[in-house]
Amino acid sequence: QRNFKYITLSFLLAGIGISAQNPVIQTHFTPDPAPMVYKGKMYVYTGDDQPGFDFYTMTKWRVYSTEDMVNYTDHGSPISLESFSWARDRAWAAQCIERNGKFYWYICVQTVDNNMAIGVAVSDSPTGPFRDALGKPLISTGTWDNIDPTVFTDDDGQAYLYWGNSKLFYVKLNKDMTSYQGQITEVPQSVEAFGGLRRPGKADEVLQKQEKFDDVYVEGPWLYKRNNQYYMMYAGMTGRTECLSYSTSPSPTGPWKYQGKIMTDQPTNSFTNHGGIIDFKGKSYLFYHTGLLPAGGSYGRSTAVEEFRYNADGTIPKITMTKE
């Protein structure tokens, strides 16, 4: 019955290149998936890897939606580097959330002065059209650290923006979602908080540390709340490839407590892993990426999804990638 269902679906969907099987989107490379639920639909915001490069050479972002986690609608590419006059290259990981009927899509790019910065595009619809909300970066500190924004609005209305490679930062966003209050705060890293320590910019030392420590914060944070506990999933490091790990906290600003790896040692055919966790129609899902499309790899990554159940104590089980 199950096989029949997949064969039938694959046949029906072959014409539009969208499949119920992992990778769930097969018409484009779709790295760094960021899910958002709005009005009974799951939206997935992704990057766009370009085949044929040997780096993360990305110029635009994409949006898909699904109501059943099987059939995905392609909403095209509402924003690209051209949407941000101050952007030069590297349309890297991003996340979109809704507030008061407006949609805020936080992106990171390489700027014209060659650093990485975070910007925000706004729209009245989850699928656009979007426009650069500020005409300048929201976060720009003249460094390479400013990548991989994740945004979360707490029950009291306070929104938080976290981001960072090697180092993890956050700010409290104002209600307009396009400005912030106070200083940028760097999250203290410790073995207790993230499983290990990493000295920024020294890859060899990262690997050396692996002999001593189990894990380390690398990039790709994803912040959310469940049962009054805050969860921070992120790309950690295992050996020579990234894993997905997580920490929890009783508050949105820490202290964080390392909880372990969610997905590790999987044959993803990609050095990086990056994704998001979200509930939809009573089920919990992990979105992540692999390099498993034909012609895929570390620079040709695709969105994949696994359904999972939290353990009774709220911890996240180990999740194994599937191809179905």
What minimum distance in Å lies between the beta carbon of 19 and ligand FUB? 22
CB-based contact 262:318 (threshold 8 Å): yes
Q: In terms of CB distance, is 42 or 91 closer to ligand FUB?
A: 91
Q: In terms of CB distance, is 149 or 252 closer to ligand FUB?
A: 149
> What is the C-alpha separation between 291 and 298, in angstroms, rounded?
6
Binding test (CB under 6 A) with ligand FUB, winner from 274, 275, 285, 287:
274
Map tokens 């694959």 to a residue: 10
Exposed e or buried b per residue across 130-158, where buried means at least 16 C-beta atoms within 10 angstroms of its C-beta? bebbeeebbbbeeeebbbbbbbbbeeeee
CB-based contact 258:234 (threshold 8 Å): no
Q: In terms of CB distance, is 20 or 151 closer to ligand FUB?
A: 151
Binding test (CB under 6 A) with ligand FUB, winner from 61, 72, 84, 92:
92
The span from the first CA to the last CA of the chain, in angstroms, equals 14
What minimum distance in Å lies between the beta carbon of 89 and ligand FUB? 11
Q: In terms of CB distance, is 149 or 196 closer to ligand FUB?
A: 149
> What is the C-alpha separation between 233 and 19, in angstroms, rounded?
26
Task: Return the bridge partners of 58, or none.
Answer: 49
What minimum distance in Å lies between the beta carbon of 261 and ligand FUB? 17
Contact string (CB under 6 A) for ligand FUB, positions 107-146, x = contact = ----------------------------------------
CA-based torsion, 215, 194, 94, 64: positive or negative: positive
CA-based torsion, 199, 272, 108, 285: positive or negative: negative
CB-based contact 194:256 (threshold 8 Å): yes
93: closest CA among 119, 113, 75? 119
Q: In terms of CB distance, is 20 or 264 closer to ligand FUB?
A: 264
Binding test (CB under 6 A) with ligand FUB, winner from 148, 180, 230, 291:
148
Q: In terms of CB distance, is 20 or 107 closer to ligand FUB?
A: 107
Residues 29-88 that bind ligand FUB (CB under 6 A): 31-32, 47, 56
Binding test (CB under 6 A) with ligand FUB, winner from 107, 147, 151, 262:
147
CB-based contact 270:297 (threshold 8 Å): yes
What minimum distance in Å lies between the beta carbon of 269 and ligand FUB? 14
Q: In terms of CB distance, is 13 or 321 closer to ligand FUB?
A: 321
What minimum distance in Å lies between the beta carbon of 49 and ligand FUB? 7
What minimum distance in Å lies between the beta carbon of 320 and ligand FUB? 20
Q: Which amino acid is at 86?
A: W
198 binds ligand FUB (CB under 6 A): no
What minimum distance in Å lies between the beta carbon of 212 and ligand FUB? 24
CB-based contact 289:303 (threshold 8 Å): yes
For residue 44, CA distances in Å to 98, 167, 315 come to 13, 26, 24
272 binds ligand FUB (CB under 6 A): yes
Residues 218-237 that bind ligand FUB (CB under 6 A): 219-220
Binding test (CB under 6 A) with ligand FUB, winner from 36, 44, 81, 93:
93
217: closest CA among 289, 164, 139? 164
Q: Which two tokens stand for residue 57?
A: 């050479």
- 213 phi/psi in degrees, rounded to 5: -120, 160
What minimum distance in Å lies between the beta carbon of 30 and ligand FUB? 11
| Residues near ligand FUB, by CB under 6 A | 31-32, 47, 56, 92-93, 147-148, 219-220, 272, 274
